[in-house]
Structure 1
Amino acid sequence: MAAPSLLSVRSATSADEAELAELDRSTWSSLHAVLPPPAPPYEPFFGERHPPEEFLVAEAAEREGGAPRVAGYLRLAPATPLASNSHVRQIRGLAVATWARGAGVGRSLLRAAFDEARRQGANRITLRVLAHNEPARALYASEGFAVEGVFPGEFFLNGRYVDDVCMGRSLDPA
């Protein structure tokens, strides 16, 4: 499939499990993952700690009336279960299919996450990203995220220590 020309973002449903699980496995990379590559038998994609309600799904079609394909997903969850922190949402995963990269899928998912977080009553959104993931860090910065902290050498990946970067932004109207 060529880069998508028609893109929409919606909430996930349990029916998306197989397709999202496959996308998650096919996009695994040490650029963003701190766990080893997934291997059979695979864990369920959705579960008690990561229900479908926490996911936004980007669908893309090449042309009007064309069948949409899952182009990416974003997991948006409360930062903690604490009432005192209920105004914060955290991005806990973002994946874009290889065939859909560079077409605005990640940006569309982020903007949909901002809207969804506001709808849920949040006024702040945070995330963590590995320091060596330059493409993701650039995308987040372009969407208003700022570095708010760094855990130096937090992970040992591929024979080297990698910083964990905490980023956040306000969801207040500009």
Structure 2
Amino acid sequence: MTRMRESDDLIIRPAQAEDEKELAALNRAAWTWLADVAPQPAEDAGVFDERHAPDQFLLALLGDRIVGYVRVVPPTPLASNQHVRQIQGLAVDAGARGRGIGVALVEAACGAARAQGARRITLRVLGHNAPARALYERCGFVVEGSLAEEFLIDGRYVDDVLMARTLTA
């Protein structure tokens, strides 16, 4: 097991194919209209497919239990955009919140992006998701733009907020 960061008993490591069942259960349990624009995944839905490979995910473990994940990918396949990485998913198990796991995952994502040669890391967050926006701001992300009323979620129009952080010193 590769350890990217250890704090108390928290370990952050890359995902492996055999993590899929536990990761899918966490993804389903963490689902909420506060953070998601698509319906809750089905009971039997997996996480990995042709667009979502294990090497895109970093997992947070307490003991041997997955309690969080972050997914980091190039935002496009274009060579002119390869200096950027994008967070396209972050979740922490409700029972493990308040222990700094979200911050640890975001910082690990930034470290992984930097190690891949990225100069910037970006993300999109729903405007009404105040807890996530506050987390990203604590990690040094700033709002760079907003798409007003981009989504209709549970009967309400919600903004799509674009945030980014520079990874160079």
Provide TM-score, normalisation by structure 2.
0.93
| Cα distance, 1:5–1:100 mapped onto 2, change above 3 Å | farther
Give the match's secondary structure for 2:52: coil
Which residue of 2 is the match for residue 56 of structure 1?
58
Distance 2:25 2:40 in 1: 13
1:116 aligns with 2:119: no
8 Å contact from structure 1 (residues 77, 90) kept in 2: yes
Distance 1:75 1:116 in 2: 11
1:19 aligns with 2:15: no
8 Å contact from structure 2 (residues 124, 163) kept in 1: yes
How far did 1:5 drift? 4.6
Among the aligned pairs, what percent are the same residue? 55
How far did 1:156 drift? 0.5
Distance 1:13 1:89 in 2: 20
1:83-111 deviations in whole A, cap 9, x for unaligned? 00000000000010011111111100011
Distance 1:102 1:163 in 2: 26
Match of 1:101 among 87, 91, 97: 97
Distance 1:90 1:60 in 2: 25
Match of 1:145 among 141, 147, 151: 141
8 Å contact from structure 1 (residues 76, 92) kept in 2: yes
Which residue of 2 is the match for residue 28 of structure 1?
31
Q: Bigger relative contact order, structure 1 or 2, given CA contacts below 8 A and separation 6+? A: 1
Distance 1:131 1:70 in 2: 28
1:102-132 deviations in whole A, cap 9, x for unaligned? 1111100011111100111101000000000
Distance 2:46 2:155 in 1: 29
Distance 2:154 2:8 in 1: 36
How far did 1:73 drift? 0.3
Which residue of 2 is the match for residue 126 of structure 1?
122
Unpaired runs of 5+ in structure 1?
62-67
Q: How many residues align?
A: 163
Query: Aligned letter for 2:146?
Result: V
How far did 1:39 drift? 2.4
Query: Aligned letter for 1:147?
Result: V
- What's the RMSD between the two structures over aligned residues? 1.2
| Cα distance, 1:92–1:130 mapped onto 2, change above 3 Å | same
Unpaired runs of 5+ in structure 2?
1-6
8 Å contact from structure 1 (residues 5, 60) kept in 2: no
1:24-60 deviations in whole A, cap 9, x for unaligned? 00011000010012224x3321011010000000001
Which residue of 1 is the match for residue 3 of structure 2?
none
1:60-99 deviations in whole A, cap 9, x for unaligned? 13xxxxxx21110000000110000000000000010011
Which residue of 2 is the match for residue 64 of structure 1?
none
